[in-house]
Chains A and B, each alone.
Chain A
Amino acid sequence: MVEQEGFRRYIAHVILWIGIAIVAFPVYIAIVASTQDNALIANGQMSLLPGGHFFEVYYQTIFVGTSGSTREPVGNMMLNSLVMALAIAVGKIAISIISAYAIVYFRFPFRMSIFWIIFITLMLPVEVRIYPTYKIVADLHMLDSYAGLALPLIASATATLLFRQFFMTVPDELLEASRIDGAGPLRFFWDTLLPLSRTNMAALFVILFILGWNQYLWPLLITTRDDMQTIQIGIRKMITTTDALTEWPIVMATAVLAMLPPVFVVVAMQKLFVRGLVETEK
């Protein structure tokens, strides 16, 4: 960073603070709203200071749910979202690191064709192939199941490409040294390639976990039972009721709860994440 003199530095700081305020204010409102009495909010008299119903609202949100039509505790929704996000992140990493390993280190017929086929799937995200994907999942009787939520989202060209690029920077001599040291393909993968990919895997995990956590369209389509819905769907369903008052404190508490796991993942893995993006240990 270049040290700037007096006035210009203050200007910079003011701009940064304004930016922070723009980002943080809605979050603050959500937190404040989640601690107030619903009647007060409905009257349009919501205070900008936290109210006194924090424990009450969060208890009801997590363990009971709204009193309206979708009486599903948010705790359960979070569990569903968590299982889905973890399955997508772990599944994507596992599948793509193995396919990248095959493409980079093995000479098999049509190797490049297979690589390009994987590459082309970048152009076909779930939204584009939603009907055939739905049909397959339905035919396999995976509607309303964790497998149905996660499996179609696991295949990933992006992660395969990322690992391929990384593997291609690993010096060939490491493979050769391993061969001379008596390590077969599996051992080389397990003992050398996996530990070297650690930071890359961490960075991918953060990105993919958040991607999985924020899924909306796919869970909306394939879950019909309340006890299988994810938190993103749950928030939406809480607001739609036309014949009843929307319970805003609970909606806001759900929104706050929905933010927590991604924040936790980013904070916990920040160090590894940054290292994975900027530096490679070779």
Chain B
Amino acid sequence: MANVTLRNVRKTYTGGFEAIKGVNVDVADGQFCVLVGPSGCGKSTLLRMVAGLETVTGGEIDIGGRVVNQVEPADRDIAMVFQNYALYPHMSVYNNMAYGLRNRGMAEAEIKTRVEEAARVLELSSMLERKPRQLSGGQRQRVAMGRAIVRQPKVFLFDEPLSNLDAKLRIAMRVEIRKLQRRLNTTSIYVTHDQLEAMTLADILVVMNGGQVEQVGNPLAIYEKPATTFVASFIGAPPMNLMSTRPEEIRSQLAGSGAADAGILGIRPEDFVITDQTPDSGVALPLTVEAIERVGAETFVYGSRQHDEQRVAATPGELPPGEVIVRIPGTEAPAIGQKIRVAAVRQKLHLFSGDGRTRIEA
């Protein structure tokens, strides 16, 4: 059991490329921390630095009160689950799990107890003698988990462990990982690019972009109060609608709500209602319906606004200027081409500075 603290951690490659630009994160003992961000944001690099697979060029990594910058991976008391599982192909499931323990000189009897216990928990008991290539993707994933568990390390590190599984299995394994982590109560750091995985697994969520931390905190708190437009559009699916406040139509509606210096307005698709009334305070937008997506329990309405739109700060998953997504419950939806009016109340509006870097509370 241990906490993990990153103090101003930096990674600069020899070519001068800065992969990590000073990251501060504090993961308390037993917490499940998820690093999330688009590909190339440095989340995997950061995890590998904690594991000791990448050198640290600045700052400190502290595991359980010990600075481990110069410590070999094997001596950091961590275990890692890789995206491609990295099972030893020539070893049986049993030996895959036992290998790390043998290298540490543990007695065979103790190894047997631990491996069998892990196999029982992961429902691998009947497969201990098989080779990895005789297993399905989900089973291999569980062996990789088993290899981490038997070590009883201070920290689990997960590098996108579910991205090689099909969608259904991914959800099942996600729940299993969470349950397992709760039971073992081992500090964990988990890297993913899937915001849904991030939201559901995390005690503490770290949203990264371009080698920097955009926001750290409880996943729901981040969802409700994203600190930047990047976080706003990255967390939540479909993404938050972001629009410039410059057009007269929007500026006039925001006037008097203490948002004079806001440059960007954000509204989540689910915070819109289709209504003819204009709320007392809030924003109403006229839309022309362009596409409808029905997924059963809910329906997404894609509409376009009538006037030219200033492009707001670039973010992944961003909507084209002038397009708005509205989420409505059920399957009843307006027809394509129909003109509708959607509104969101003042409490549901997110306001950001013009560069998208600062959230404005009003």
Q: Does B13 count as interface, using CB distance less than 8 angstroms? A: no
Interface string of B89-133 (1 = CB under 8 A from A): 110000000011001100000000000000000000000000001
**Count of A residues near B, CB < 8 Å?**
18
Interchain CA distance A176-B85 in the complex, whole Å: 11
Contact between A179 and B89, CB atoms less than 8 A apart: no
Q: Does A130 count as interface, using CB distance less than 8 angstroms? A: no
Contact between A180 and B88, CB atoms less than 8 A apart: no
Q: How far is the CB of B146 from chain A (nearest CB, A)?
A: 13
Interface string of B183-205 (1 = CB under 8 A from A): 00000000000000000000000
Q: How far is the CB of B322 from chain A (nearest CB, A)?
A: 44
Contact between B73 and A180, CB atoms less than 8 A apart: yes
Contact between B74 and A281, CB atoms less than 8 A apart: no
A179: which of B74, B87, B99 is its contact (CB, 8 Å)? B74
Contact between B86 and A195, CB atoms less than 8 A apart: no
Contact between B89 and A282, CB atoms less than 8 A apart: yes
The segment out of B4-12, B75-83, B326-334 that lies at the interface is: B75-83
Please give, as numbers and ranges, the residues of chain B lying within 8 Å of A171 by CB-CB distance: 84, 86
Q: Does A182 count as interface, using CB distance less than 8 angstroms? A: yes
Q: Does B72 count as interface, using CB distance less than 8 angstroms? A: yes
Q: Does B135 count as interface, using CB distance less than 8 angstroms? A: no
Q: Does A196 count as interface, using CB distance less than 8 angstroms? A: yes
Contact between A177 and B80, CB atoms less than 8 A apart: yes
Please give, as numbers and ranges, the residues of chain B lying within 8 Å of A138 by CB-CB distance: none
Contact between A181 and B78, CB atoms less than 8 A apart: no
Contact between A179 and B72, CB atoms less than 8 A apart: yes
Q: How far is the CB of A1 from chain B (nearest CB, A)?
A: 27
Q: Does A192 count as interface, using CB distance less than 8 angstroms? A: yes
Residue ID in chain A nearest B82 by CB atoms = A173
Interchain CA distance A70-B74 in the complex, whole Å: 64
Please give, as numbers and ranges, the residues of chain A lying within 8 Å of B82 by CB-CB distance: 173, 176-177
Q: Name the interface residues of B34-91: CB closer than 8 Å to any CB of A.
A: 51-53, 72-74, 78-80, 82-84, 86-90
Contact between A196 and B51, CB atoms less than 8 A apart: no
Residue ID in chain B nearest A177 by CB atoms = B86
Interface string of A115-141 (1 = CB under 8 A from B): 000000000000000000000000000
Shortest 5 CB-CB distances between A and B: which pairs? A181-B100, A173-B86, A182-B74, A182-B103, A177-B86
What are 5 residue pairs bridging A and B, where the CB atoms are less than 8 Å apart in the complex? A177-B80, A179-B52, A179-B72, A180-B52, A198-B90
